[in-house]
C-alpha cells in the first residue's frame, strides 16, 4: 500500500514537471496548430514513456536488445528533464526582470518620439505627426481635411451655383498659403476614389495597409528565456555524458593506519566501485576501467560492489575484460545492492571464474593486515546480508584491518569490530547535482575520506553511472589508496 502511494506521488510529480516543461518550451513559444507545437506535444508524451520503459524493462525481464533500445533515450531524457527544469526555474527569476527592462526601453522610445513630433514641422506647425513614417511604411490611410480642400468647396449643385466653382477656387486659393496639391506619396487608390466620388459627397477613406505583426514582448521574452534554458540544460547533460563515456580518472590518497607494520608501508589498493555494466555501459566501458587500473600497477584491486545491472546471460561477455586485471596480491570483490536485483549468486560464481576472489562475509590475511569483505545489506531479504561476526569476529585485534563493504551506512558496525579502514562506494558522489544533497541525507559520507572514532571511512564516487550515463558535479574515479605505517 505504501509503495503504491509513493508510486502515485512520483508519477503525479513527473506529470506536473512535464506539463511545466511543455508549457515553457512549447506552449509559450509556438503558435497553436503549428508543426513545432505538434512535435513538442508528441515529445512530451513519448519521452516520459521511454523513461518508464528504460527503468522497468530490466525488472520485468524484457529482451536485452529492447533494454538497450530504451535505455539511451529513456535515461538521457531523465537527465535532460532535471537540468532543463532547473534552468527554467532560474529563468522564472530572469523573466520578469527582462520584461520590465523591455517595457522601460519601449516607454523611453515612445517619449522621445512624442518630443520630436511637437517641434518645428510637427503637429503644432501644421503637419501631421508621424506622416513621414506612415508614408514610408505604406500605412497612410487618409490625408487630414486641413491639408486638402474639401470636395464640397470645389463643386456645388443647384441652378444658382453656376459661378460658385470659380468663387470657391478663388476663396480657397486666397486662404491657403500656397497652391493646393495632393501629396506626392498619397496612395493611388485614394486619389482615384476622390476623383470618382459623386458631386457633393465625401469619399470613403481607403483601407489601411498595416505592417506585418511582430512577436509580442512577452512572446519574445519566452523565446529568449526558453532558448537560453534549453542551451544550458542540454550543454550540461552533454558534458556530463562525455565525462562518463571518457572513463574514470585516477585519484591518489594516503591513509595512515596505526597498526600497520612497517613492512606494509606504501601498500597500494586500487579501489573501484559502481562500474554498472549494463544496457548502456558495456564491454568497452569495462575494458577502459581495467586498462586504467592496470596502469597504476596496484598491489591489490578492491571491487566494492554494484558491478552490474543485469544477468550473467546478458552481461557475462561485457564483464570478461575483468579477467585481465593485474595486481601482485590479486583482485577481490564484494556484492552491492544491484547484484541482488538480478541474482547475486550467479555473479559471485562468474567473477570467481574471471579470477576475482569474492569475499562473502570472509577475511584473508594480506601481508601485514587483514582484508575482510561483507555482503551488501540488500542481501538481507535473501538471508545473505552482512555478517560482521563471521568476517571479523575471531581475528587478531593487534593486526590492522581493512574492510570492503559496499554501503557506507555500515560504518558503525565497522567501528564496533575494530576496523581501521572501510572501503565503500554506493553513493556515486551524488552523480547528478544536486543529488549529492539527497545522498547526504542517506549516507554518513558521500565521497572522500572521513574518520569515525578509530575507524576511517573512504567512499569512492564510482567508475560508472546508474540510470542516465551522465555525471554532473561528481566525476567518476578510480582511487589508489596508499597505506602508510606510523612506524615508518
What's the whole-number mean pLDDT along residues 182-207? Answer: 51
Per-residue cell: 383: 538471508
11-68 pLDDT, tens digit per residue, is: 889 899 999 999 999 999 999 999 999 999 999 999 999 999 999 998 888 999 999 9
So what's the pLDDT on residue 168? 36
Q: What is the CA radius of gyration of the chain?
A: 39
pTM value is: 0.77
pLDDT of residue 143: 40
| Pairing verdict, β 477-485 and 249-257 | parallel
3-state helix, strand, coil in the chain (%, to 5): 50, 15, 35
Q: Could you tell me the three cell numbers for 218?
A: 512577452
Chain segment 284-297, per-residue pLDDT in tens: 999 999 999 999 99
pLDDT digits (tens, 9 = 90+) for 337-373: 999 998 999 999 999 999 999 999 999 999 889 999 9
pLDDT interval class at 123 (50, 70, 90)? very low
Q: What three-state secondary structure class fits 481?
A: strand
pLDDT at 102: 87
- pLDDT score recorded for residue 199: 56
Report how far residue 315's alpha carbon sits from residue 329's, in angstroms, rounded to the nearest whole number.
27
Q: Are 281 and 311 in contact (CB under 8 A)?
A: no
Looking at residue 124, its pLDDT comes to: 45
Report which secondary-structure segment, H or E, holds 246: helix 217-246
Average pLDDT, the chain: 84
Preceding amide of 381 cis, omega within 30: no
54 by Cβ neighbours in 10 Å (0-12 / 13-18 / 19+) ranks as: buried
Per-residue pLDDT tens over the stretch 89-107: 999 999 999 988 888 888 8
Amino acid at each position: 500500500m505504501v509503495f503504491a502511494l509513493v508510486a502515485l506521488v512520483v508519477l503525479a510529480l513527473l506529470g506536473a514537471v512535464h506539463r511545466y516543461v511543455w508549457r515553457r518550451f512549447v506552449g509559450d513559444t509556438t503558435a497553436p496548430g503549428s508543426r513545432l507545437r505538434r512535435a513538442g506535444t508528441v515529445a512530451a508524451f513519448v519521452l516520459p514513456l521511454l523513461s518508464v520503459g528504460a527503468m522497468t524493462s530490466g525488472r520485468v525481464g524484457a529482451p536485452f536488445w529492447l533494454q538497450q533500445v530504451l535505455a539511451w533515450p529513456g535515461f538521457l531524457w531523465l537527465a535532460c528533464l532535471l537540468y532543463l527544469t532547473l534552468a527554467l526555474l532560474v529563468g522564472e527569476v530572469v523573466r520578469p526582470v527582462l520584461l520590465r527592462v523591455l517595457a522601460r526601453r519601449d516607454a523611453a522610445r515612445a517619449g522621445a518620439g512624442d518630443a520630436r513630433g511637437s517641434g518645428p514641422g510637427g503637429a503644432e506647425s501644421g503637419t501631421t505627426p508621424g506622416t513621414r513614417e506612415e508614408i514610408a511604411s505604406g500605412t497612410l490611410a487618409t490625408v487630414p481635411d486641413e491639408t486638402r480642400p474639401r470636395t464640397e468647396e470645389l463643386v456645388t449643385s443647384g441652378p444658382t451655383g453656376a459661378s460658385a466653382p470659380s468663387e470657391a477656387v478663388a476663396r480657397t486659393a486666397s486662404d491657403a498659403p500656397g497652391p493646393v496639391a495632393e501629396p506626392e506619396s498619397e496612395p493611388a487608390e485614394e486619389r482615384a476614389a476622390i476623383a470618382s466620388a459623386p458631386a457633393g459627397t465625401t469619399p470613403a477613406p481607403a483601407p489601411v495597409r498595416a505592417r506585418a505583426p511582430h512577436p509580442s514582448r512577452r512572446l519574445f521574452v519566452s523565446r529568449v528565456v526558453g532558448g537560453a534554458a534549453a542551451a544550458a540544460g542540454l550543454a550540461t547533460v552533454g558534458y556530463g555524458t562525455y565525462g562518463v563515456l571518457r572513463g574514470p580518472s585516477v585519484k591518489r590518497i594516503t591513509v595512515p593506519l596505526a597498526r600497520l607494520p612497517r613492512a606494509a608501508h606504501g601498500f597500494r589498493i586500487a579501489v573501484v566501485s559502481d562500474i554498472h555494466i549494463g544496457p548502456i555501459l558495456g564491454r568497452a566501458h569495462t575494458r577502459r576501467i581495467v586498462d586504467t587500473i592496470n596502469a597504476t600497477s596496484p598491489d591489490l584491486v578492491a571491487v566494492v560492489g554494484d558491478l552490474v545491472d543485469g544477468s550473467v546471460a546478458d552481461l557475462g561477455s561485457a564483464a570478461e575484460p575483468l579477467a585481465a586485471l593485474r595486481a601482485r596480491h590479486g583482485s577481490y570483490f564484494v556484492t552491492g545492492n544491484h547484484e541482488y536485483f538480478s541474482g547475486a549468486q550467479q555473479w559471485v560464481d562468474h567473477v570467481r571464474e574471471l579470477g576475482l576472489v569474492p569475499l562473502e562475509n570472509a577475511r584473508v590475511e594480506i601481508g601485514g593486515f587483514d582484508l575482510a569483505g561483507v555482503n551488501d545489506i540488500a542481501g538481507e531479504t535473501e538471508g545473505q546480508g552482512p555478517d560482521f561476526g563471521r568476517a571479523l569476529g575471531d581475528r587478531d585485534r593487534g593486526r590492522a584491518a581493512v574492510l570492503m563493504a559496499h554501503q557506507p551506512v555500515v560504518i558503525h558496525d565497522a567501528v564496533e569490530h575494530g576496523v581501521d579502514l572501510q572501503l565503500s562506494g554506493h553513493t556515486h558522489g551524488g552523480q547528478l547535482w544536486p543529488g549529492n544533497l539527497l545522498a547526504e541525507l542517506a549516507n554518513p559520507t558521500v565521497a572522500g575520506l572521513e574518520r569515525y572514532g578509530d575507524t576511517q571511512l573512504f567512499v569512492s564516487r564510482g567508475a560508472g553511472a546508474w540510470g542516465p550515463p551522465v555525471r554532473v558535479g561528481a566525476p567518476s574515479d578510480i582511487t589508489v589508496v596508499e597505506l602508510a605505517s606510523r612506524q615508518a
